[in-house]
Chain A
Amino acid sequence: MFVTYLRRELAGRRKQTAIVAIGMALAIALVIIVNAVSSGVQLAQSTVLASVYGVGTDITVSQTPVAPTEGEGGGGPQNFDFGAEDGATADGSTTVNQATLSVERGTTAFDSTALDTVGGIDNVSAAAATLSLSNTTFNGTLPDRSAMTQGEAPTAGEAPTGADGAGGSSFSVDSFTVLGLDPADDAVGPLSAVSLTDGRSLESTDAGANVAVLDASYATTAELIVGDTISLAGTDFTIVGLVTASSADAATASNVYIPLDVAQTLSGLEGQVTDIYVQAASSTDIEQVQADVETALPDSTVKTQADLASSVSGSLSSASDLVKNLGLWLSLIVLAAAFLIAILFTISGVTRRTREFGTLKAIGWSNGRIVRQVAGESLVQGLIGGVVGIAVGLFGILAINLVAPTLTAGAASADVPAGMNGAGGRPGGGFGQAVVEAATSDIVLQVPVTLSVILIAVGLAVLGGLLAGAIGGWRASRLSPSEALRSIA
């Protein structure tokens, strides 16, 4: 009887069934799309972050930068000091060339014993330290000043002397990022997220060796291949491998990767590191590990993936904000409206069917039987809305994936650790430029369909139906049979 009655009611009151189902379907479709887009945006953010921080990095530790005291270089601009006899002289002009390997601007090195401290904290499953550096090469030619009389200016028609032919000097500054890391520690950190495209990666036997792995994009720009050498602070390194980000959409953390001990020696930062990458035993331990690290290293800046996600900028960030704010609220409002429509229609239906329920009670139907009937009808209406909503939602996701919108992601800000700043730093940029420019990547937004999204949709449909049914059923159960029959007499 229950099924027959339910089927007849839904078929006999098609308009109400359609309105409730459509309202529910729209709300559920919106929730599905917003949820799926949110997942897609998170995946894109993870891709950007993983390419910089490595797979499995839960927490990064860096030193809070401090303003340099007078006379300290700190993280400020590099100095190039040339003595009177420096440079090669030819034709009266002097050519000077000097390279420095120093900590990136905005980054502070700290004692590497912090790695042991972090490694000893409970629920830390892996930790690796890196030294984030910038290799800056100064190259220039000075004119023959001795040939010029003090205060004398070139006379009219006289060609000025000097390397540039204009009587001045010619200088170029080349800069690229260098990351020193422990070759034996590849479980966590920037190299854990890269793919090898040629040669080999750094190995534990490379400690102390002048070998380097290059970002494939940088190598192409600099016209370098495996087997060539690259000069870092005047020392030649053999290129043993080329790597690229695991996702074709993202850049790697640095232009050049070398063994940590070599980086420390060349930069004069023995026993110093700039970043520690930490992997927690489980996601539930991240908060505890973060708190313990902050306690153990009070001067440090400790960031989780959630903090890092906020550092992603560009249209990807805008999309994330849009999904989190407008999308979330819009879906909640539409969902609430759909639930309200379902409830109001159910109550209205119960009111309209007063005679029907009064009659059923008069012939002996219990309140429970009537509540079950009303709730069953609402539940099926909700489920019809759920099925349609899932179909519309999946169609929406398909449409987004077919359109495949491209989002740009910038992965740098003043707050992020040095490794982030160097991501994809441009070779050949101006002095210091490479270390402050944000890395930008184009990410094609791919919206995933997950079982959880479908389950959420079904759950919402059931919830909406049961809510409307419970309220409608409660109204029906409160009808007194005598009053119900009297009201229509």
Chain B
Amino acid sequence: MYELTNVTKKYDQGKRSVTALNKVTLSIPDGQMVAIQGPTGGGKSTLLQMLGALDRPSTGTVQLGASDLSKLGQGPLGEIRARQIGFVFQGFNLIPTLTAQENVETALAPLGVSAADRTARAAAALASVGLGERGSHLPAELSGGQQQRVAIARALVKEPAVLLADEPTGNLDEQTRDEIMELLEGLWRDRGLTLIVVTHDSAVAKRAQRRLLIKQGVVKEVA
């Protein structure tokens, strides 16, 4: 469960200070599917980084389970990312020189999983997203939708509690978008994940249990 209390994040841009998040207080229960919408520059990505333990707030606290992410150092934050949080990016962010199988395995490397176990788990993850036969392909040999499936497999192979998706369908056509969203929804239901999706696409947002709108760093619930 996430508990954000009075979270403010400011960035210095030269002599100017920009407030990306302004006193955000928010609670997200375990197993919920949440969509975050908002205009560009409104603070969506910053909020996702706070939730993903990629950054710390300037003030306020971000609680994930028993851990206060705002007080942890880089090492423990990395450990939490490695074990509890999966990321899916708009641009897929696969490593171009590694095969689909090897890309999925990168998520298991920090966990000290044995090579044999790593191979087996990565292959199973690829199979669960419908790419069991494409493990040996390089990202450049896959379509956009397939690359995003590989990225989802990489996010889920470590069996995280939370899946954070930043515009996961932003680079895909409508049909592929729907396929990916169906896949994410299916995984969310089957695994009891907390799924948080940042999106511009209202069609995607409407699939979520809960919708949040973030504008000028302030979060509001959407009815």
Could you tell me if B118 and A1 are in contact, using CB atoms closer than 8 angstroms? yes
Could you tell me if A362 and B87 are in contact, using CB atoms closer than 8 angstroms? yes
Is A481 interfacial (CB 8 A cutoff)? yes
Known contacts A1-B106, A5-B98; is-contact A355 B75 (Cβ 8 Å): no
Interface core residue of A13, A365, A369 (most chain B CB under 10 Å):
A365
Cβ contacts A to B, 27 pairs, < 8 Å: A1-B115, A5-B102, A5-B106, A8-B97, A9-B97, A11-B97, A12-B96, A358-B93, A360-B106, A361-B54, A362-B52, A362-B81, A363-B82, A363-B87, A364-B81, A364-B82, A364-B83, A365-B82, A365-B106, A366-B78, A366-B110, A369-B109, A369-B110, A482-B49, A485-B49, A485-B93, A489-B45
Which residue of B49, B96, B107, B115 is within 8 Å of A363 (Cβ)? B107
Is A15 interfacial (CB 8 A cutoff)? no
Query: Quick one: closest B residue to A481, CB to CB?
Result: B54
**Bound complex: CA A13 to CA B155 (Å):** 26
17 other A-B residue contacts (CB within 8 Å) besides A5-B106, A364-B107, A482-B49? A1-B105, A1-B106, A8-B97, A9-B97, A359-B93, A361-B81, A362-B54, A362-B81, A363-B107, A364-B79, A364-B83, A365-B109, A366-B75, A367-B74, A482-B55, A486-B49, A488-B91
Is B26 interfacial (CB 8 A cutoff)? no
Which residues on the A side are within 8 Å of B78 (C-beta)?
A: 361, 364-366
Which residues on the A side are within 8 Å of B18 (C-beta)?
A: none
Which residues on the B side are within 8 Å of A489 (C-beta)?
A: 45, 90, 166
Query: Quick one: closest A residue to B74, CB to CB?
Result: A367
Query: Quick one: closest B residue to A480, CB to CB?
Result: B55
**How many residues does chain B have at the interface if contact means C-beta atoms less than 8 Å apart?**
35
**Bound complex: CA A245 to CA B122 (Å):** 75
Which residues on the B side are within 8 Å of A367 (C-beta)?
A: 74
**Bound complex: CA A367 to CA B81 (Å):** 13
Which residues on the A side are within 8 Å of B105 (C-beta)?
A: 1, 4
Which residues on the B side are within 8 Å of A5 (C-beta)?
A: 95, 97-98, 102, 106
Could you tell me if B97 and A12 are in contact, using CB atoms closer than 8 angstroms? yes
- Shortest distance from the beta carbon of A353 to any chain B beta carbon, whole Å: 9
Question: For window 339-379 of chain A, which residues contact chain B by CB distance below 8 Å?
Answer: 355-356, 358-367, 369
Which residues on the B side are within 8 Å of A365 (C-beta)?
A: 78, 82, 106, 109-110
Which residues on the A side are within 8 Å of B115 (C-beta)?
A: 1
- Report A64-107 CB contacts with B as 1/0, cut-off 8 Å: 00000000000000000000000000000000000000000000
Interface core residue of B49, B54, B110 (most chain A CB under 10 Å):
B54
Could you tell me if B75 and A1 are in contact, using CB atoms closer than 8 angstroms? no
Which residues on the B side are within 8 Å of A481 (C-beta)?
A: 54
Query: Quick one: closest B residue to A477, CB to CB?
Result: B74
Known contacts A355-B91, A481-B54; is-contact A13 B97 (Cβ 8 Å): yes
**Bound complex: CA A366 to CA B75 (Å):** 7
Which residue of A356, A364, A482 is within 8 Å of B95 (Cβ)? A356
Is B89 interfacial (CB 8 A cutoff)? yes
Which residues on the A side are within 8 Å of B91 (C-beta)?
A: 355, 488
Which residues on the A side are within 8 Å of B149 (C-beta)?
A: none
Is B121 interfacial (CB 8 A cutoff)? no
Is B211 interfacial (CB 8 A cutoff)? no
Query: Quick one: closest B residue to A365, CB to CB?
Result: B110
**Bound complex: CA A360 to CA B107 (Å):** 8
Known contacts A364-B78, A482-B49, A486-B45; is-contact A4 B102 (Cβ 8 Å): yes
Which residues on the A side are within 8 Å of B106 (C-beta)?
A: 1, 5, 360, 363, 365
